[in-house]
Chains A and B, each alone.
Chain A
């Protein structure tokens, strides 16, 4: 392009780069009362460029008119398929290039208007841009522009709540990329390539980077469109692809990428896709290490920057550890759901059945899925794989399998607690403890030996009880309630187990009875603490329970009723007293539901049984009464 080297052309190129500079760098310093000053200046420059291009075009087209006929014939001869789509010229012909160059300016003008909140005008320029290049076939000259213009139109229409329209533009951009890569695949021209002087062109590598970047954005915008259309499955896929491409083209900030991948793992967990979840987590852990060494405590004391860096690295790593904990926990809990019978015990027949059938099938299944989700460039791939091998992504079917997942989870608990210490991070620390307790709880499900199982529950009590006692309910009311409830249930569970153990004995000894009563009263105390937290400062029990407390409160009362009747005492009077309390508690449930009929639905079974007990317990009480009387 001889004309390009003229001084006139030089001015055009300089104007464009000045406009870019104004729009992207200068504009950040614009004063608050004139926030778009530099953008407006850039707009004026773009308009001038547009004018001179237009002028040139008319001149050049005049000269070219004579040749036009033969050129067109030639083109048709060479590439007959172009005619089919009704394109008037090829993207790489002089006319196509002229059109593309004008279209680039229209694109920049479009962006400029959108950024200055003149959306309709911006849309108009983008549509002009699109029309100009739509006249030509898509070639490496205009394919990048084709995609970027549609990206922008997608954003624009999504902002107007016309998601389907946005989807249309973005999906065209997506298929154009795929088509181009299939048919041509050479590094395409970047927008900037249209306005550079000879010798200042972008390198091939930079061209590829920018083109791939544009497409990564297309996928990212599509992810958001699908999210807004509530097509979560697809949105997840597109987020995954976005992450894959960021890694592949090295367009990422390690810590940010790692956190995003870890978050994506949580999405997969909700979909019970553990192989994918594990891959995301392994990649997150590996990529996080690329963020550099954690500054030492000494270095952090020296400078604020080092201190902040240390804090950030430690925090993010601890957060990734928490994502791992959640992975292990959910994997085990899902297995439990599959293996338990109707009272929550391990169903041995089912276990056998699953062990035989599931395995091979699943593994095959996962191999098929795996290839599409892999993360990692050559340098990180091995580390990601070796991290993956440390924990299974299959549902554990027996104690040994469950235990190995438990141990991994537990090691991440230790890691996460290091940063999220009680002092300074109360809520996070306790959440981690709750996860740890939940890990023990689900592990206990797989344990067949009652004594050992009981010990696992004891571990839960040991980790939660001190925290529960130390916490100020004025600030952490919700956590306190959760802890009280969990402790009550854990003691209840232990009581049940002690009972089962004792049942096997012929004659339970005094020690066992004492232990049993202790577990009963501990469980009851925590239920009672939970119930007391619902009282007003004056100690009045709320007449109407809140929705989210309704069921827990009535269940707590129901369980208290049961516990009160479970106490073992040799003293008939004590027995009478316990049973009378039990009756009162059952009656509380019945009366509450009578006064608040809307509560019935939340506690149907419990209510039904409470009604029965309220009518039948007196009989039992009566019998003890007569025994006492007869002894008189």
Chain B
């Protein structure tokens, strides 16, 4: 059951050389799960946010409070992998300004203790598969890797396929990207090779077309299938889960790439161009505070929102890591990242269940209650209801009926039956 909403973590990185050169001040403080940001212009003014995790990676491992790659993986990656084995779809996405450390958290570096969530999770996945001793179980792993740029989807594992791939939905297989290549892998090394070649496709494409990776989202999918063969019945049951690892475009590009994940409230900004009139009108149509009237807004969400829809509302588990820059010069961007992360805690698609009013049923039942009460009083048992708790009744009665049920001879039932049926139609008693 998708009871948990999005799990949100934030992580602050060390200063980079540019920030050191500018003698930047650190404006982020963390204690426990709370992250505080200080306004460099008004140092007395600070804002606090609570998250599931606040990772302090600004200093070095010598610092007792320092959060290393392993720790981030242990908190977030391990849990998500567990859910994947349970058969859930899982999704981890990274958000933040370009250069705030998204890729470090997700991918890391190929050095000891420097690997990020994705490689650690893949490694763990295959360790678990190889360690499995249950002969009735078999596993298969497939991967796909795509890039979303300006609402267009590109296959990173087959860069020759230059066209815009279409996003579609299948009733059994869920949302999918048409013609996206899916490659079977048998080891962590396979995954690593594919990821490397995909990343190369990403940058090569970027220089050719004057696009830089910071503007595009990258989605790495692992389709993990577990098959159990029951040798007694010769039945095979299958559990398929999709692990999506999403590297979102830099948050400063959020507008140009439609990276918003979900539509978040816009500020007081006025859009200049009339091409955005539609947005203004939809905002009006969506505002239905007073009356519960459904409106249909004919605007497609962004491709990414669409692909992640199942992760935000379906039967899946989702985590988000927001990467923060510690430097005072990035105050505005970092604050907006924190606000986004704060809202992400509440991101969920609601299942609006429109129920019929119960009025008729309520009336019927009230009548029945009155009838039963009359009956009780007429038998002089009225005081029973008033003195005993309803639960007590429930516990007392069924026992008696069990005895009756067993000793009841069927033949005599038929005599009664016409009478009871009539009674039931007329009085429900």
The residues of A with any CB-CB pair to B shorter than 8 Å are: 32, 154-155, 158-159, 161, 163, 166, 216-217, 220-221, 223-225, 227-228, 232, 235-236, 239, 242-243, 246, 251, 253, 256, 259-260, 262-264, 266-267, 269-270, 272, 304, 316, 319-320, 322-323, 325-326, 330, 342-344, 422-427, 467, 470-478, 481-482, 485-486, 489, 492-493, 496, 502-503, 507-508, 513, 533-537, 542, 546, 548-549, 551-552, 555, 558-559, 562, 565-566, 568, 570-573, 575-577, 580, 583-584, 587, 590-591, 594, 605-606, 609, 611-625, 627-629, 631-632
Which of the residues B270, B278, B314 comes within 8 Å of A256, measured between beta carbons? B278
Find out whether the CB atom of B296 lies under 8 angstroms from the CB atom of A326.
yes
Given contacts A32-B212, A631-B416, contact A426 B297 (CB under 8 A): no
Which of the residues A481, A613, A628 comes within 8 Å of B408, measured between beta carbons? A628
Query: Can you list 7 A-B contacts (CB < 8 A)?
Result: A232-B284, A236-B284, A259-B278, A427-B309, A493-B356, A617-B372, A631-B413
Given contacts A472-B172, A476-B174, contact A326 B295 (CB under 8 A): yes
Find out whether the CB atom of B270 lies under 8 angstroms from the CB atom of A235.
no
Binary interface encoding of chain B residues 379-416 relative to chain A, with 1 for a CB under 8 A from any of its CBs, else 0: 00100010010110110111011001101110011111
Query: What are the nearest 5 A-B pairs in CB distance?
Result: A475-B174, A570-B417, A319-B298, A266-B295, A631-B412
Find out whether the CB atom of B270 lies under 8 angstroms from the CB atom of A536.
no
Given contacts A155-B272, A472-B171, contact A580 B398 (CB under 8 A): yes
Which of the residues B175, B270, B422 comes within 8 Å of A158, measured between beta carbons? B270
Within 8 A of A (CB), among B214-229: none
Given contacts A605-B362, A609-B366, contact A426 B401 (CB under 8 A): no
Enumerate chain A residues within 8 angstroms of B420, measured Cβ to Cβ. Answer: 570, 572, 575, 627
B264 within 8 A of A: no
Given contacts A478-B313, A612-B369, contact A270 B89 (CB under 8 A): no
Find out whether the CB atom of A256 lies under 8 angstroms from the CB atom of B404.
no
With both beta carbons as reference points, the residue of chain A lying nearest to B396 in the complex is identified as A618
Question: What is the bound-complex CA distance between A576 and B416, given in angstroms?
Answer: 14
With both beta carbons as reference points, the residue of chain A lying nearest to B175 in the complex is identified as A475
With both beta carbons as reference points, the residue of chain B lying nearest to A217 in the complex is identified as B274
Question: What is the bound-complex CA distance between A443 and B88, given in angstroms?
Answer: 40
Find out whether the CB atom of B268 lies under 8 angstroms from the CB atom of A158.
yes
Beyond A239-B281, A594-B391, 8 additional pairs, beta carbon < 8 A: A159-B268, A260-B281, A425-B168, A493-B356, A570-B414, A570-B417, A583-B398, A616-B385
B350 within 8 A of A: yes
Which of the residues B349, B376, B405 comes within 8 Å of A478, measured between beta carbons? B349
Find out whether the CB atom of B415 lies under 8 angstroms from the CB atom of A631.
yes
Question: What is the bound-complex CA distance between A221 and B169, given in angstroms?
Answer: 38
Enumerate chain B residues within 8 angstroms of A566, measured Cβ to Cβ. Answer: 428
Find out whether the CB atom of A628 lies under 8 angstroms from the CB atom of B298.
no
Shortest distance between the CB of A530 and any CB in chain B (Å):
8
Find out whether the CB atom of B284 lies under 8 angstroms from the CB atom of A154.
no
Shortest distance between the CB of B300 and any CB in chain A (Å):
8
The residues of B with any CB-CB pair to A shorter than 8 Å are: 1-3, 86-87, 89, 163, 168-175, 212, 240, 267-272, 274-275, 277-278, 280-285, 287-288, 291, 293-299, 309-310, 313-315, 349-363, 365-366, 369, 372-373, 375-376, 381, 385, 388, 390-391, 393-394, 396-398, 400-401, 404-405, 407-409, 412-417, 420-422, 424-425, 428-429
With both beta carbons as reference points, the residue of chain B lying nearest to A618 in the complex is identified as B397
Enumerate chain A residues within 8 angstroms of B355, measured Cβ to Cβ. Answer: 485, 489, 551-552, 555
Find out whether the CB atom of A631 lies under 8 angstroms from the CB atom of B1.
no
Shortest distance between the CB of A319 and any CB in chain B (Å):
4
Find out whether the CB atom of A246 lies under 8 angstroms from the CB atom of B358.
no
Find out whether the CB atom of A481 lies under 8 angstroms from the CB atom of B299.
no
With both beta carbons as reference points, the residue of chain A lying nearest to B5 in the complex is identified as A546
Question: What is the bound-complex CA distance between A154 and B268, given in angstroms?
Answer: 11
Find out whether the CB atom of A322 lies under 8 angstroms from the CB atom of B284.
no
Find out whether the CB atom of B287 lies under 8 angstroms from the CB atom of A232.
yes
Question: What is the bound-complex CA distance between A260 and B284, given in angstroms?
Answer: 12
Shortest distance between the CB of B296 and any CB in chain A (Å):
4
Which of the residues A155, A496, A558, A590 comes within 8 Å of B270, measured between beta carbons? A155
Find out whether the CB atom of A572 lies under 8 angstroms from the CB atom of B408.
yes
With both beta carbons as reference points, the residue of chain B lying nearest to A330 in the complex is identified as B293
Given contacts A227-B283, A269-B295, contact A627 B274 (CB under 8 A): no
Question: What is the bound-complex CA distance between A489 and B282, given in angstroms?
Answer: 32
Question: What is the bound-complex CA distance between A256 and B298, given in angstroms?
Answer: 11
Question: What is the bound-complex CA distance between A326 and B298, given in angstroms?
Answer: 11
Enumerate chain B residues within 8 angstroms of A262, measured Cβ to Cβ. Answer: 298
Enumerate chain B residues within 8 angstroms of A580, measured Cβ to Cβ. Answer: 398, 401
Shortest distance between the CB of B80 and any CB in chain A (Å):
16
Find out whether the CB atom of B314 lies under 8 angstroms from the CB atom of A426.
no
Which of the residues B240, B282, B390 comes within 8 Å of A263, measured between beta carbons? B282
Question: What is the bound-complex CA distance between A32 and B274, given in angstroms?
Answer: 26
Find out whether the CB atom of A572 lies under 8 angstroms from the CB atom of B278.
no
Shortest distance between the CB of B327 and any CB in chain A (Å):
19
Question: What is the bound-complex CA distance between A631 and B163, given in angstroms?
Answer: 80
Enumerate chain A residues within 8 angstroms of B310, measured Cβ to Cβ. Answer: 475-476
Which of the residues A316, A474, A591 comes within 8 Å of B174, measured between beta carbons? A474
Question: What is the bound-complex CA distance between A316 and B425, given in angstroms?
Answer: 53
Find out whether the CB atom of B359 lies under 8 angstroms from the CB atom of A548.
no
Find out whether the CB atom of B298 lies under 8 angstroms from the CB atom of A322.
yes
Given contacts A471-B171, A622-B397, contact A216 B274 (CB under 8 A): yes
Find out whether the CB atom of B174 lies under 8 angstroms from the CB atom of A472.
yes
Enumerate chain A residues within 8 angstroms of B296, measured Cβ to Cβ. Answer: 266, 322-323, 325-326
Which of the residues A330, A426, A632 comes within 8 Å of B412, measured between beta carbons? A632
Which of the residues A323, A542, A583 comes within 8 Å of B394, measured between beta carbons? A583
